[in-house]
Amino acid sequence: MVSDEILVKRSRQGDREAFALLIERYQDKIYNLTYRLVSNVDDSADLTQEVFYRAMLKIKEFRGDSSFSTWLYRIATNICYDELRKRKTRRFVPLDDSTPDGFSPKIADKTAGPAEKCLEKLMQQHIQKAISTLPPPQRTAVILRDIEGLSYEEIAQISQCALGTVKSRISRGRKALRDLLMSEQELFSPEHVYTK
Amino acid sequence: MNCRIVQENLSLYLDGQLSSSQLKVIAAHLESCASCRAEYSSLEQTVNCLRNLEPLTAPTGLKKKILNQIEEIDEKPHRWMLTWKNSWKYWGHNARKIGAAVVIIAALLLGKTILVPNLDFQRPVDLSGPTVESGQTEMAIPKEQTMHTMQGPAQLQSKELVRTDRVTDRKVIQTARLALLVEQLDKAMSAVEELAQKKGGFVQSSDLFRFDDARGANYTLRIPVDQLDGSLDQLEKLGEVQDRQTSAQDVTEEYIDIEARRRNLSQQEERLLSILAQAATVEDILQVETHLERVRGEVEALTGRLQYLENQTALSTLDIELRERSRSITTVQLPHDRLGTRLKEAFTGSINLLLSCLGNFALYLAAALPFLLLGSAIGAFGWLLYRRIALRK
Ligand SMILES: [Zn+2]
């Protein structure tokens, strides 16, 4: 396999096929990342396009002081932050112990498909919803660590912050997610679903 | 090791991000403590949940869409525009160096005009020749001169800086993040909202969240760029600062690039309109119209992007995270905080004392200078006299 560095070099010289290979290599990762950050499939397709478009515009500025993927992730997180800022919606997460809207009722009237599949899908939605409640810096750190599987150092480079900041963001983000997910866990245990 | 410290470090423990001795201590604690073990397993489960999330794949055709969009960059800017862009780039890069050189030279000149008279004060030591009278007059003149020259170059320099700023008119997206630990969330929240208004900005978005036992709020404020630093300083007083970051992203190049592309497209649009006016067959008209539609769509998209950049550069974006101090944390953290602030106070206190001592010393020196000079001049005169007498012997 041709290395990223060579493809980047060729892309800088105007080789579109090289850049096409880079897109192929990273589009799923970027799409995944943008979806986890903004929680909307349609938006993440547009954002992924924007990421590569901007990468192409700026590829001459890429000096190779980080890996290409780190650089690309940085562009992606910046674009997603812009997007999140654009959404002017006031989003209030309930502070009391009641369940976030839309979760428990759906379990009660689950009708279509095999129970496990439905449960699996609900679980996925549930986790994504929980992720979306995290403040963006924590959200980014947790996504990059636990979903994209990056190292702490890479995350620090992408977020352009200190390693210690990354550590605390990941710790806090995971804890907050744990609290959200665990408070709902009883609802997701099979007995609960079948008795309802 | 106490449970609280163990639990704070479990996330790092999970990733092996601790020293081997810390890892050992926590492993040993987990062996013996059931509640920490439960905490650990819940955290591990959460991480596994995230790791097992189904990876999404980009929709088919996305790559083609991206490549099409990129191809348009290749087609659109004509050669003259590229060379113009490159030459701009060249000057853009060098303008910074030239600007830096100008500033340094100006600073040197300014420094020299201030420092030279000071050097004159010290000079009588090696001047040793002139008489007392000339020494005194020399001294009286530079003192006045320093007052004038100090103002002159300083004004010039600041004017110059303003001018270079205007010439390049850089588009910079200023963003800042501030995380604060506050005593009372509601008070801090209303203070944040009030500040946004007072500074001529607004609250773009806000939300409340809960972390552990404590409540928190996130804000995104849009603040006029020149008010950002002042706002940050004011906000810092609302609580204990956990994280403060500012960043500036220069988008001048992109802005100019898009502007040029839009100009080019508008010209194309005009050309197409004139072609349309002359088109004879329906087929021609349709063809030109579809072309025109595409061009107009692109102009619209570029205009949108320009407006977005205008918006982002006109106002800085300030993300604030407020977190209320929970009681359990308070008892643990307060002694440390007190110690920290006391140390800091002690440190800054003694620094201030030192500075004021130095200041007083400098003042004393300045006040004593005429006498010192007079004394040294007399001394020099005496020494010369002595030497002449000694030589005669
Ligand atoms: Zn314990």
CATH number, domain containing residue A196: 1.10.10.10
Q: Are residues A115 and A173 in the same domain?
A: yes
| Six-digit token string for B333 | 């953290």
Interface residue B210 vs chain A (CB under 8 A): yes
> Separation of B35 CA from ligand 1 center, angstroms?
6
- For residue A160, the enclosing domain spans 104-196
Domain boundary among A73, A98, A123: A98
Q: Which of the residue ranges A98-112, A140-154, B279-293, B294-308 has the most confident prediction, judged by mean pLDDT?
A: A140-154
Do residue A114 and residue A88 come from a single domain?
A: no
Q: At which of A98, A133, A151 does a domain end?
A: A98
Chain A CB contacts of B55 under 8 Å are 28, 32
Chain B nearest CA to A108, separation (Å): 22
Model pTM greater than 0.95? no
- pLDDT above 80 for B11: yes
Instruction: Identify whether the C-beta of residue B350 lies closer than 8 Å to the C-beta of residue B236.
Output: no
Query: Each residue's pLDDT tens digit in chain A (196 positions)?
Result: 889 999 999 998 888 899 999 999 999 999 999 999 999 988 999 999 999 999 998 898 888 888 999 999 999 999 999 888 887 454 433 333 323 333 333 333 344 456 666 677 778 888 999 999 999 999 999 999 999 999 999 999 999 888 888 999 999 999 999 998 887 665 455 444 443 3
Q: Among residues 100-159 of chain B, which lie with CB inside 8 Å of chain A?
A: none
Q: How far apart are CA B12 and CA B283, in angstroms?
A: 68
Together in a domain, A45 and A71: yes
Shared-domain flag, residues A55 and A36: yes
Residues A160 and A194 in one domain: yes
Residue A196 DSSP class = -
Phi, psi values for residue B120, rounded to 5°: -60, -40
Alpha carbon distance B326, B320 (integer Å): 19
CATH number at residue A90: 1.10.1740.10
Chain segment B220-253, per-residue pLDDT in tens? 888 988 889 899 999 999 998 887 878 888 888 8
* Residue A78 and residue A37 share a domain: yes
pLDDT at B41 over 90: yes
Q: Which residues contact A169 (CB under 8 A, 6 or more apart)?
A: A137, A138, A140, A141, A142
Q: Where are the domains of chain B?
A: 3-52, 70-123, 166-324
Inform me whether the C-beta atom of residue A107 falls under 8 Å from chain B C-beta atoms: no
Residues A196, A127 within the same domain: yes
Question: To the nearest whole number, what is the mean pLDDT of chain B?
Answer: 73
Mutate to test the interface with A, among B5, B15, B46 (most CBs of A within 10 A): B46
> Residue B355: which pLDDT band, with cuts at 50, 70 and 90?
confident
Q: Is B207 within 8 Å of A90 when comparing Cβ atoms?
A: yes
Q: How confident is the model at residue B100 (pLDDT cuts 50, 70, 90)?
A: low
pLDDT of residue A93: 34
Q: Which of A56, A74, A83, A183 to mutate to test the interface with B (most CBs of B within 10 A)?
A: A56
> What's the CA-to-centroid distance between B3 and ligand 1, angstroms?
4
What average pLDDT does range B363-376 have in this prediction? 77
Percent of chain B at pLDDT above 70? 65
Handedness of CA A112, A115, A118, A122 (dihedral sign): positive
Distance (Å) of CA B186 to CA B138, B180, B193, B219: 66, 13, 11, 13
Judged by CB atoms closer than 8 Å, whether chains meet at A53 and B66 is answered as yes
Q: Is the pLDDT of residue B131 over 70?
A: no
Is the model more confident about B302 or about B24? B24
The answer to whether B73 contacts A179, with C-beta atoms less than 8 Å apart, is no
Same structural domain, A75 and A118: no
Domain count, chain A: 2
Q: Which residue has the higher pLDDT, A20 or B328?
A: A20
Asked if residue A61 and residue A148 are part of one domain, the reply reads no
Residue B269 has pLDDT above 70, yes or no: yes
Candidates A42, A57, A72, partner chain B, best to mutate (most B CBs within 10 A)? A57
Distance of CA B88 to CAs A57, A63, B80, B84, B257, Å?
16, 20, 12, 6, 11
Query: How far away is chain B from the Cα of A52, in angstroms, using its nearest Cα?
Result: 7
| More confident: B375 or A160 | A160
- Tell me which chain A residues have a C-beta less than 8 angstroms from the C-beta of B207: 90-93
The three-state (H, E, C) secondary structure of chain B, written as one string: CCHHHHHHCHHHHHCCCCCHHHHHHHHHHHHHCHHHHHHHHHHHHHHHHHHCCCCCCCCCCHHHHHHHHHHHHHHCCCHHHHHHHHHHHHHHHHHHHHHHHHHHHHHHHHHHHHHHHHHHHHCHHHHCCCCHHHHHHHHHHHHHHHHHHHHHHHHHHHHHHHHHHHHHCCCEEEEEEEEEEECCHHHHHHHHHHHHHHCCCEEEEEEEEEECCEEEEEEEEEEEHHHHHHHHHHHHCCCEEEEEEEEEEECHHHHHHHHHHHHHHHHHHHHHHHHHHHCCCHHHHHHHHHHHHHHHHHHHHHHHHHHHHHHHHHEEEEEEEEEECCHHHHHHHHHHHHHHHHHHHHHHHHHHHHHHHHHHHHHHHHHHHHHHHHHHHHHHHHHHHHHHHHHHC
Distance of CA A125 to the CA centre of its chain: 13
- Same domain as A121, residue A80: no
* pLDDT digit string, tens, across residues B150-203: 444 444 444 444 433 433 578 888 888 888 889 888 889 989 989 998 988 888
